[in-house]
Amino acid sequence: MESTFDNCIFYNAILNNSDPYDDHQVMYLVQLQGADLTSVGEYYTRSEAIIAKMRELGVDTKEVWDEIDRLYIDKIIEEIKEGRIKQLFSNLIRNLLEQLELKYGVE
């Protein structure tokens, strides 16, 4: 599956934040697509619902993506750079999805 602004929180947080110099970090996301396909599918499905809800609530803004980038994505990118991809879905990525679902009321 291809990452887009409609289905990928990472893509949005990296490309829609106020730091134009971190866009190269998108290349690290490709490494995640080789992970467990069930987890990748779950990520995209849940991300799509979160992004749709954010748009519905009017919070699809640079400021919100900056916060998500700082709170979650920076750490995930560091883990990828260090080659610690195996546990990302069960730990950091699942936490990211759960926190955003709670925050924006995604069911």
Per-residue pLDDT of the chain (107 residues; tens, 9 = 90+): 788 999 999 989 988 988 877 777 888 777 777 667 678 889 999 999 999 999 999 999 999 999 999 999 999 989 988 988 888 888 899 999 999 999 999 98
Does 2 reside within a domain? no
In a domain, 63, yes or no: yes
Residue 1 lies in a domain: no
Based on the structure, what is the number of domains in the chain?
Answer: 1
Domain annotation covers residue 4: no
Residue 64 lies in a domain: yes
Q: Is residue 85 part of a domain?
A: yes
Containing structural domain, residue 69:
9-104
Q: Looking at residue 28, what is its pLDDT? A: 79
- Judge contact between 68 and 13, C-beta under 8 A: yes
Residue 52's pLDDT is: 98
Q: pTM here?
A: 0.89
